[in-house]
Amino acid sequence: MPASLNVVILAAGLGKRMRSALPKVLHPLAGRPVVSYVIDAARSLSPRAIAVVVGNGADAVREAIGAPDITFVVQDPPRGTGDAARVALEVLPAEGATLVIIGDIPLVNPASLGELVMQALDGKLAVLTAKVPDPTGLGRVIRDAAGRVRAIVEERDANEMQRAMNEINTGVMAAPTALLKRWVAALTPENAQGEYYITDVVATAVKDGVAVVAEVAADERDVRGINDRAQLLAVERILQERRANDLMRQGVALADPARIDIRGPLRCGRDVRIDVGCVLEGEVSLGDDVTIGPYCTLRNVTIGQGTLIEPYSYLVDATIGANCRVGPYARLRPGATLEDDVHVGNFVEVKASTLGRGAKANHLAYIGDTTVGSGVNYGAGSITANYDGASKHRTVIEDGASIGSNCVLVAPVTIGKGATIGAGSVISQNAPEGALTVARPRQVTVEGWQRPSKKT
């Protein structure tokens, strides 16, 4: 795109129908704010400037999407889309073309935007329209007998014949900047809502003899707007369906493409299998032959070749090597690193710890702030007591050690290479390598003791 392009994104709406304290454009869609998708589409055109018009929740919007290439403009009070465009145009260069996009159409196709911009650079007013099965609540595109666009009429102001039309305004238009500035400055709030409609510039352009062209969206789903939570969910499902289809085209085996949520960049190797109900958030990388069992959550996780994640496992900010087995019902917390051939079984939690090659913790265990060597066997019910009430401390379990069931390793402590810790031990001092260490009271049978009975 030429360097003379401005983009205005309208994100000042109250979003009353969302019934939320969160600004509409910040509601999450596949793990990201709705408006962030519109910004990405705008950036793909390499514009000279991007102005985001904010109003309701302006500080929250700035914090969520602020970047050096974005200028924020406050519309106060909110007086409609035409007024929002006017305040943005006041801070943008007057030459070239300006593209105006509403901030709640996250699936908008950048190629369609590019077509509008090229028309605007040619001196025309270009609008993006769509033909929809149900136009209720949307502005209608009015054409003459020759098919030329003559106006856009909001539904509240439309007559019965106009409401029967199914070509709708999408909230996207492009025009020469100088003309657009003049047109929005002349807008009046003479309509059912008493607002300044940017769509009224279409009729003004026709009156001025400026050509108005319409780019009809090839897929009306690309320009679905979001005004309430039902519409947000509908767009979410469209986006998830597209992502699932992309994965399957890449060779990923999905048990059910309708039951997967992808909320960030996902990279998959060959022969990856993902079962139903999985949620993949942040940046996730799955190596060749990785299998993800049903109902797992992975957030910012890297998994090596041939690893199996069993059902209902919850993995966050973790790195897992090749040929590991994790779960079912395992939890890997931030800083967990499993080297190759590690087994972490049911109801095992790992946090800020590294498990060396071939280590096993197969049942009911907690490993926190620990360095576990290769070949270690970590018994059921054992934990590392890493917190003294004020500070965290590390535990070191060297290669080949064996930790018996129901042990407590009180950090800071080191278990030597090849050491064995007897079941039920509380270890608060270093255990020497190659030896059996037991730290528990001698078993005693109390003669004559009777179990208390309930009073009747």
Question: Do you know the residue count of the chain?
Answer: 456
User: Across-strand partners of 377?
Assistant: 360, 402
Rounded CA-CA distance 156/258 in Å is 37
For residues 131-163, one letter each, b for 16 or more C-beta atoms within 10 angstroms of the residue's C-beta and e for the rest, the string is ebeebeebbbbbbeeeeebbbbbbeebbeeebe
Q: Is 27 an active-site residue? A: no
**How is residue 336 written in tokens?**
């967990």
For residues 49-62, one letter each, b for 16 or more C-beta atoms within 10 angstroms of the residue's C-beta and e for the rest, the string is bbbbbbbbbbebbe
Kindly give the residue spans of alpha helices, DSSP state H, lying in 216-349. 229-249
DSSP string, 161-202: HHHT--EEEEEEEEEEHHHHHHHHHT----STT----GGGHH
Q: Identify the residue whose tokens are 């890297």.
A: 302
- The residue type found at 31 is G
CB < 8 Å & 24+ apart, contacts of 62-69: 64/26, 64/33, 64/36, 65/33, 65/35, 65/36, 65/39, 69/43
Q: Within a 10 A sphere around the Cβ of 68, how many other Cβ atoms?
A: 5
**How is residue 40 written in tokens?**
């990405």
> Taking a C-beta distance cutoff of 8 angstroms, is the pair 319, 338 a contact?
yes
Rounded CA-CA distance 52/73 in Å is 6
Q: Within a 10 A sphere around the Cβ of 257, how many other Cβ atoms?
A: 16
- Alpha-carbon distance values, 202 to 8, 153, 170, 215, 242 (Å): 17, 10, 13, 14, 34
Exactly one of 27, 343, 363, 393 is catalytic; which is it?
Answer: 363
Rounded CA-CA distance 456/452 in Å is 12
- Alpha-carbon distance values, 118 to 92, 174, 213, 451 (Å): 19, 9, 11, 88
Catalytic residues: 363
